[in-house]
Amino acid sequence: MKKRMSVLLFMVAAVGFGQRTTAPDFPTQASTNARPAVVTPERPVQATGSVVYNDGKVDYVGANAKFVISAEDKGSGVKAIYIMVDNSLSGKYGDPITFATEGKHTIGYRVEDNVGNLSAFKMYEVVVDLSAPETKIASDKKVVAIGDALYVGKNTLFTLVANDKYSGVKTVEYAIGDAAFGVYNGAFGLPNQNGLYTIRYRATDNVGNVSEVKTYTVYLDLNAPKVEMTVDPAAFEKDGVKYVPAGARVSVSASDAETGVAEVLYSLDGAEYVAYNFPVVLTPGTHTLKVKAVDLVGNTSEEVSLTLVVDADEPTGSLVPTQK
């Protein structure tokens, strides 16, 4: 005689196996590091009602998971199934079992047939993962906060961080603006156009828990500062050459419409660029002054050049009598 008994066990539990990714402003490299899926072999205890993920050792399940114990006896038939849940003796199974806390749980069981034979005691370990991954975003370049707004410069790359303490991260997704979500495979940039952008991102673990969609809004500043020079007193131009007297002062000013000017630099007669702090007073002779400015997110202005001749020679004159 053969009888088959199926027992449904409802479990809610989990264990702390971590799955991590990394990114900038935090670490500078990103990966989902997802564990390879392993097909769970046939077992007397089978999970139903949820995604089942196996990391090679342990089954992970999501919410609403139920477990079926199948018992079979080829002789007198199955009389009872005796269970032990989380190392606590529970006696003969009668009603479904539930777990109120997240964590790793075990089901121990043995089967008795109708003539008193007992099977070997077996254990089944399972992790019920009810927690969605945690996500973060970071950039590889400086982010400037002005009031409530965040600014980044050109060629800024963003990296996503995902961390799941149970079954591990399966996928990370992101979208820019109103675009559809796409799979995150590594650092990404914004469209090459000045303006405000919102990045949306989320992560899914190996049993289907999806994190809340987070948003990160930044202004992409691609506009470089403007820089100009003024000479006091003003230069006199003759035949395309600009002349100034000894003691003339060259001042440099710069402006930036978005984030503001971080520094102004100048180079005199081909020397290395240095910080500009005060007007430049030129010595007699011919000089070329080059200037540029950098804003707070790293945009650099075009170089502006000015060549001046400092005329320090006194004019001469002579009296020539006229003939009548």
Considering only residues 89 and 164, tell me which one the structure prediction assigns the higher pLDDT.
Answer: 164
CB 16 within 8 A of CB 166: yes
Mean pLDDT throughout 123-127?
89
Assess whether pLDDT exceeds 50 at residue 276. Answer: yes
In this predicted structure, what is the pLDDT of residue 38?
Answer: 37
In this predicted structure, what is the pLDDT of residue 97?
Answer: 66
Beta bridge partner(s), residue 238: 241
In this predicted structure, what is the pLDDT of residue 133?
Answer: 97
In this predicted structure, what is the pLDDT of residue 11?
Answer: 32
CB 4 within 8 A of CB 71: yes
Question: Nearest 5°: CA angle at 98, between 94 and 104?
Answer: 125
Specify the pairing of strand 66-73 against strand 59-61: unpaired
Considering only residues 107 and 302, tell me which one the structure prediction assigns the higher pLDDT.
Answer: 302
The span from the CA of 258 to the CA of 287, in Å, is: 33
In this predicted structure, what is the pLDDT of residue 67?
Answer: 81
The span from the CA of 75 to the CA of 153, in Å, is: 77
In this predicted structure, what is the pLDDT of residue 320?
Answer: 75
**pLDDT-wise least confident of 24-33, 112-121, 315-324:** 24-33
Confidence of residue 70 (pLDDT cuts 50, 70, 90): confident
In this predicted structure, what is the pLDDT of residue 216?
Answer: 98
Tens of pLDDT along 173-197?
Answer: 999 999 999 999 999 999 999 999 9
| Global pTM value | 0.74
Half-sphere exposure at residue 128, Cβ-oriented, CA atoms within 13 angstroms: 24
Percent of the chain topping pLDDT 90? 62
In this predicted structure, what is the pLDDT of residue 13?
Answer: 30
In this predicted structure, what is the pLDDT of residue 106?
Answer: 87
Sign of CA dihedral 186, 187, 190, 192: negative
174-185 b/e (C-beta count within 10 Å ≥ 16 → b): bbbeeeeeeebe
Tens of pLDDT along 241-258?
Answer: 999 999 999 999 999 999
CA 297 centroid distance within chain: 19
DSSP element (H, E) containing 154: none
User: Which tokens in the block code for residue 118?
Assistant: 């007992």
Mean pLDDT throughout 92-118?
82
Confidence of residue 124 (pLDDT cuts 50, 70, 90): confident
Please, what are the domains in the chain? Answer: 3-16+36-128 (2.60.40), 134-220 (2.60.40.10), 226-311 (2.60.40.10)
Assess whether pLDDT exceeds 60 at residue 141. Answer: yes
In this predicted structure, what is the pLDDT of residue 31?
Answer: 41
CB 152 within 8 A of CB 38: no
Considering only residues 19 and 196, tell me which one the structure prediction assigns the higher pLDDT.
Answer: 196
CB count within 10 Å of CB 227 equals: 24
Question: Rounded to the nearest 5°, which phi and psi values hold at 49?
Answer: 80, 5
The span from the CA of 49 to the CA of 23, in Å, is: 35
In this predicted structure, what is the pLDDT of residue 171?
Answer: 97
CA distances from 93 to 12, 81, 82, 89, 105 (A): 18, 6, 6, 11, 17
CB count within 10 Å of CB 134 equals: 16
Confidence of residue 273 (pLDDT cuts 50, 70, 90): very high
User: Which tokens in the block code for residue 154?
Assistant: 């050109």
In this predicted structure, what is the pLDDT of residue 65?
Answer: 85
In this predicted structure, what is the pLDDT of residue 21?
Answer: 32
In this predicted structure, what is the pLDDT of residue 98?
Answer: 63
Assess whether pLDDT exceeds 60 at residue 236. Answer: yes
Assess whether pLDDT exceeds 90 at residue 89. Answer: no
* Of 175, 173, 240, nearest in space to 211 by CA: 173
Mean pLDDT throughout 77-83?
90
